[in-house]
């Protein structure tokens, strides 16, 4: 998957980078293949299956190629080939030499959790497999289209060193990464696209033109489908000079869901954290992190500042939970339910600056949640701004064991102390 190390860093803490990493919709590889094909971009022939029996029939549909296929577990994570399933079966990518073997491997993958370096110990459920023709390339390249924060424009990122971890390439040999700005309105020019093909070492004229067309069509998808990132790794060149996209990963802007209904209909909720899915239903922004201090704030900037101050005081945030500016008391209660669903949370830190979001509404939600959920873990609350005094009085009159603070650093220190 594309590495953020190729981009200007916008945050330094691990908690911040985790937040940045989950701001877009991802789709499965077999769905990516269909999208590429719909824009005239060539890929190995690939077909998905959801049962072992279907996998066998799909393999047979490849005709004289049915004994020379690849089967890939469809989960939204990198490192599938080196992963292992919860059943003990090793590897999410295998060569398939017959339809019977396709059925056998599919049975070992489907409805099992694939565990990779990117999934964590729980893994992700494999609900589909993809069967594809074996098309071994003689050369492998890397290409991606993404937004560059420095130039504030789309860029094409390419390298002759495809088929490997691009982050390692960027670290060991930065000169191997070629970045080409793209005009948002006009796209990638014929000359610029052709020049990139030359720079990454594609030799034949026909292959260069084919690669240039791929680059231009990738940008069309990027713009027309509101993508945040398109990564092809590898872009393969076959022995006859044919250029194929061998693997694809897409990210799409969540804010564009209203105009990208076809893309967002592909969302696989089984691949997403249930807390994040539940939060979205209430208009909450929730991202699970690795610590033990639950955070409930309003505003992304305040959320990151809160996580930073917790880290400075020696603590670790368990989540990023932003209730936004229009949350109701019921939504605040739901926010507590989501935070408390994580067993490792040992304290909760509520840090609210009342502007659009009134502090008394937050207080109402806090009290409601604490009573109905029979809250037993320490609750540290810092409320400032609109209706803050009224909110503090509501909390005081509730009789609940809540630790109120005015200072951010003091409140954070207490949250860390109570989480030990």
pLDDT of residue 56: 98
pLDDT of residue 7: 37
Which residue's structure tokens are 């208009």?
283
Instruction: Please give the torsion angle defined by the CA atoms of residues 18, 21, 22 and 27, in that order, rounded to the nearest 10 degrees.
Output: -140
Q: Is 194 a catalytic residue?
A: no
How far is the C-alpha of 419 from the C-alpha of 207, rounded, in Å? Answer: 59
How far is the C-alpha of 239 from the C-alpha of 243, rounded, in Å? Answer: 10
Domains of the chain: 45-134 (3.30.1490.20), 139-264 (3.30.470.20), 273-418 (3.40.50.261)
How far is the C-alpha of 418 from the C-alpha of 347, rounded, in Å? Answer: 6
Global confidence as pTM: 0.76
Q: Is 39 a catalytic residue?
A: no
Of the candidates 140, 231, 276, 364, the residue annotated as catalytic is 231
Residues 106-157: tens digit of each pLDDT: 999 999 999 998 887 889 999 999 999 999 999 999 999 999 988 889 999 9
CA of 69: how far to CAs of 60, 109, 129, 130, 348, in Å? 10, 16, 12, 10, 51
- What are 388's two structure tokens? 């803050």
Going by pLDDT thresholds of 50, 70 and 90, the confidence category of residue 363 is confident
- Quick one: which of 269, 262, 233, 265 has its CA closest to 249? 233
Residues 57-84: tens digit of each pLDDT: 999 999 999 999 999 999 998 889 999 9
Of the candidates 30, 105, 141, 142, the residue annotated as catalytic is 142
- What are 262's two structure tokens? 């076809």
As beta bridge partners, residue 336 has: none
How far is the C-alpha of 78 from the C-alpha of 282, rounded, in Å? Answer: 30
- Mean pLDDT lowest among 192-201, 225-234, 388-397: 388-397
Backbone dihedral angles phi then psi of residue 305, each to the nearest 5 degrees: -65, -40
């Amino acid at each position: 998957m594309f590495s953020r190390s190729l981009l200007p860093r916008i945050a330094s803490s691990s908690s911040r980078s985790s937040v940045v990493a989950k701001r877009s919709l991802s789709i499965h590889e077999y769905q990516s293949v269909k999208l590429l094909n719909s824009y005239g971009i060539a890929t190995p022939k690939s077909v998905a299956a959801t049962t072992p029996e279907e996998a066998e029939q799909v393999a047979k549909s490849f005709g004289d190629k049915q004994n020379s296929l690849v089967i890939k577990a469809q989960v939204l994570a990198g490192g599938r080939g080196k992963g292992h399933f919860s059943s003990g079966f090793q590897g999410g990518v295998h060569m398939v030499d017959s339809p019977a073997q396709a059925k056998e491997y599919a049975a070992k993958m489907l409805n099992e959790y694939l565990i990779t370096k990117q999934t964590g110990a729980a893994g992700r459920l494999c609900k589909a497999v993809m069967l594809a023709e074996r098309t071994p390339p003689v050369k492998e390249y890397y290409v991606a289209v993404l937004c560059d924060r420095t130039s504030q424009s789309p860029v094409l990122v390419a390298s002759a060193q495809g088929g490997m971890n691009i982050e390692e390439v960027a670290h060991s040999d930065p000169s191997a990464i070629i970045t080409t700005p793209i005009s948002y309105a006009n796209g990638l020019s014929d000359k610029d696209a052709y020049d990139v093909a030359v720079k990454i070492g594609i030799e034949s004229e026909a292959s260069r033109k084919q690669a240039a067309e791929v680059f231009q069509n990738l940008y069309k998808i990027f713009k027309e489908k509101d993508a945040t990132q398109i990564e092809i790794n590898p872009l393969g060149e076959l022995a006859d000079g044919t250029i194929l996209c061998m693997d694809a990963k897409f990210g799409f802007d969540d804010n564009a869901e209203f105009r990208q209904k076809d893309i967002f209909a592909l969302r696989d909720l089984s691949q997403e954290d249930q807390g994040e899915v539940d939060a979205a239903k209430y208009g909450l922004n929730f991202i699970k992190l690795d610590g033990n201090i639950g955070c409930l704030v309003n505003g992304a900037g305040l959320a990151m500042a809160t996580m930073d101050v917790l880290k400075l005081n020696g603590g670790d945030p368990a989540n990023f939970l932003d209730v936004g500016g229009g949350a109701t008391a019921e939504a605040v209660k739901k926010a507590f339910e989501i935070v408390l669903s994580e067993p490792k949370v040992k304290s909760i830190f509520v840090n609210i600056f009342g502007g659009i979001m009134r502090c008394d509404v937050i207080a109402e939600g806090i009290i409601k949640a604490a009573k109905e959920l029979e809250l037993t873990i320490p609750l540290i609350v810092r409320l400032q701004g609109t209706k803050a005094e009224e909110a503090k009085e509501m909390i005081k009159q509730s009789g609940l064991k809540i630790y109120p603070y005015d200072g951010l650093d003091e409140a954070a220190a207490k949250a860390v102390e109570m989480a030990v």
